Amino acid sequence: MIDVPTFGASSAAPAAPPAPIDALDDRTTVAPPRKPRGAWRLVLPDGSTHPVTGTTVIGRQPDAAAAPGATATLAIDDPDGLVSKSHAVIELNGGRLGVRDLGSTNGAVVLAADGSESEVSSESSTALDVGYEIELGSFVIRIEKA
């Protein structure tokens, strides 16, 4: 006679339920509290920084009225005249950062950390991250977290 294994119902007693995943025992290490995530900031070519706390209009003579909901402006010195008065807007939404062109003459480009480039649209916001750069004419702004 050959023993054939059976599958399905078993006559053995049911196994005890597993211990809760979050139960602490002598093998559990409690992690230190998370460090708060830093605040976004813009680093200008001269090394100065500008914190981003809301929607910020950037240009030679930026006007907050150029972007609904703008709470700040950042005037940049552009001796080449390639940056428009209100060139672009940095948008902070739910902790995420983006940039949108405000119909500037020379446009804007985002340079990602991996070297890829994307044209900035006036229709929708282009996502930004740490290490990205925004080109406004010949003016370059780097994105960092403090």
Q: Any idea where the domains of the chain sit in the sequence?
A: 40-145
Query: Model-level pTM greater than 0.85?
Result: no
Determine the topology of domain 40-145 in CATH.
Answer: Tumour Suppressor Smad4 (2.60.200)
What is the b/e burial string over 23-57, where b = at least 16 CB atoms within 10 angstroms of the residue's CB? eeeeeeeeeeeeeeeeebebebeeeeebebeebbb
Q: What is the model's pLDDT at position 12?
A: 58
Q: What is the full per-residue pLDDT of the chain (146 aa) written as tens digits?
A: 555 555 454 555 666 666 565 555 667 677 766 544 689 999 999 999 999 999 999 999 999 999 999 999 999 998 889 999 999 999 999 889 999 999 999 999 999 999 999 999 999 999 999 999 999 988 999 999 98
